[in-house]
Structure 1
Amino acid sequence: MAGADTPAKKSDLGVRTASAVVMLALAGTALWLGGILWAAFVILVTLGVIFEWSVLAIKFTEPGLARNVWRTCGVLYCAIGGLMLLVLRDGPVGIIVVLIVLGAVIATDIGAYFAGRAIGGPKIAPSISPSKTWAGLFGGMLGASLAVGGIPWLLSNPGLSNLLVDNGGEARDSYFVSVHAFGDLPSVVLAGALVAVTAQAGDFFESWMKRRAGMKDSGKLIPGHGGLFDRVDGLLAVLFVIALLMIGSLVPALLGQESLLPSPA
């Protein structure tokens, strides 16, 4: 059985890898150029996710109030995520902020995958997502913490970070002063844990919706990956929590960007 499965798995891995490279290239180019291109990219992805959410909701609800509520909540939830991507990108160091958020979510997936495969152990909620383990969750926390602490450190190189800011060294230096003040080990670990738990919760929520709808994937747009919602379920949850924290003024100005600049002497 293992021998028969190996070629298919390798083939699937190749498709998934190629799709991931294309997705990252498109997103990275739009993020780099910013402006109307980034806005158009975010809007298109958001509309695609709203459509897939709506399809899932239609599958597991009857026509009437419940279906309308689910579809309305989907529009709001996805729109908040898209809006947050635009807000976070809008600023002299917006690229760096978005890279940290995206990097932490991606690192959560990577850490969870490898820790889950290597360690295994008890499942978190097998009736919703049979493959997710507690070991994977802690691996995701580790991956997210490394991203939260490591990406600012990597980008603090002036030669690299100057390429990613809109107003030169002043904005860059002010930003990294704030990052380093925030970036003590307990804060990094706490932020990484928050990202990982939130991203995994978003993943579980989408898995629950798909199980109720009787669907394996939210769509078939991305070869080897399923739909758009399948790819951004964790990111949407993280962006939603960031929005709540920003609204409640519970996060430092790191995410607001304007107050990152030092006060005049």
Structure 2
Amino acid sequence: MKPPIPNGAGGTGRWGDLIPRIISALVMVVVALGAIWAGGLVFTLVIAACCGGMVWELSQMLAPRRADTALLLGGASFGAVLFAGILPAALGAGLLLLPVVLGWLQVAEGAKTRFAVFALWIVLAGYSFIWMRISLGADWLIWLALVVIATDVAGYFAGKTIGGPKFWPRISPKKTWSGTSAGWVAAALVGLGAAPVFDIGFALVLASVLVAMASQAGDVAESALKRQTGVKDSSGLIPGHGGLLDRFDGMLGAAAMFLLLYPFLG
């Protein structure tokens, strides 16, 4: 047996996942910013692909022996979000129910509700991102992404460095109160820096913290699902991060919170 790799050199130890995590994060940031800048069909395709991948992972977790079902539901989610984003809202929005209905028919009895809730959450969040890019432009999307990234990065480093009491050990044993609160501070700083762009002032700072909390809630919800299904990661698609659902669960929560806050932000 080979000896363990020293701490910080990769593989094991507190910072063993740092290098692949950074590389994967940089690739995702470049793809995300490029898609946001491009907008239009490019952005819609990227969002639809992410939604399809997340529903595929969800299906794999809830029905691990049915690869054909996972492909069917992932493909249906991709198509539903894509055409919902292209077609007029009156025609396209109803398509978002397609993967939910198909999943209800395909998934085993004990997993139907969990699939329906998470699948609907995923496709609605994807559709809301497309709506934001079309209706609000790139600025709001970039702010939302920066809040979630700052929350995640600050939480990761504070949790690893400071440690301390666990936030919710039964559901998410790696998360600490130090990392959680550091995420709120980082989100507030993003809001403070972005406030002049939107000419909103302190309201954007408060909104950023609420979005950060919703992002963390999305992470906890996905952790609870993984606990229930007995898996460590939603998949192995992204080195250092797990799967798409592991990486974008925070964005799903952030999207839901933004839609609630937007009327008050004007």
TM-score normalised according to structure 1 size: 0.75
Matched, 1:18 2:28: no
Contact 1:137 1:196 in 2 (8 A): no
Correspondence 1:153-192 to 2 at 5 A: 153=196, 176=197, 179-180=198-199, 182-184=200-202, 187-192=203-208
Find the partner of 1:142 among 182, 185, 190: 185
Counterpart contact for 2:128–2:255, Cα < 8 Å: yes
Q: What are structure 2's unaligned runs of at least 5 residues?
A: 65-105
Q: Which letter maps to 2:144?
A: V
Aligned with 1:227 (options 235, 243, 246) = 243
Corresponding residue pairs, total: 220
Partner residue of 1:161?
A: none
Change (3 A) 1:35 1:50: same
How far 1:31 sits from its partner (Å)?
Answer: 0.9
The 3 A distance-change label for structure 1 pair 12 and 213 is same
Displacement after TM superposition at 1:63 (Å): 5.7
Q: 1:13–1:111: structure 2 CA closer, same or farther, 3 Å change rule? A: closer
Alpha-carbon separation, structure 2, partners of 1:142 and 1:188: 13
Aligned equivalents of 2:214, 2:258: Cα separation in 1: 10
Q: CA deviation at 1:245?
A: 4.4
Aligned AA for 2:181? F
Q: Which residue, 99, 110, 115 being the options, matches 2:153?
A: 110
SS across alignment from 1:132? strand
- Cα displacement (A) at 1:146: 0.9
Q: Corresponding residue for 2:123?
A: 79
Structure 2 letter corresponding to 1:34 = G
Query: Residue 236 of structure 1: which of 252, 256, 260 is its match?
Result: 252
Over the aligned positions, Cα root-mean-square deviation in angstroms equals 2.3
Q: Distance in 1 between matches of 2:129 and 2:107?
A: 33
Measured in 1, the distance between the counterparts of 2:183 and 2:125 equals: 21
> Are 1:107 and 1:140, in contact at CA under 8 Å, matched by a contact in 2?
yes
Give the equivalent residue in structure 1 for 2:53: 48
Equivalence for 2:73: none
- Per-residue CA deviations over 1:62-91 (Å, capped at 9, x if unaligned) read 964442222222221001110111111114
CA distance in 2, matches of 1:57, 1:40: 26
Identity of aligned residues (%): 36
Among 111, 115, 120, the alignment partner of 1:67 is: 111
* Cα deviation code 1:82-130 (max 9, x no counterpart): 0111111114x51111000000011111221222233322111112111
Shift of 1:2: 8.4
Structure 1: state its 5+ residue gaps. Answer: 154-175, 254-265
1:199-214 to structure 2, matched below 5 A, reads 199-214=215-230
Quick one: distance in 2 between partners of 1:110 and 1:137?
11
Q: Could you say which residue in structure 1 is the equivalent of 2:97?
A: none
Flag the 1:115–1:34 CA change in 2: closer, same or farther, 3 A.
same
For 1:18, the aligned partner's letter is: I
1:129 aligns with 2:172: yes
Secondary structure at the residue paired with 1:124? strand
- Correspondent of 2:144 among 94, 98, 101: 101
Which has the higher relative contact order, 1 or 2, with Cα contacts under 8 A spaced 6 or more apart?
1
The amino acid across from 1:72 in the alignment is: A
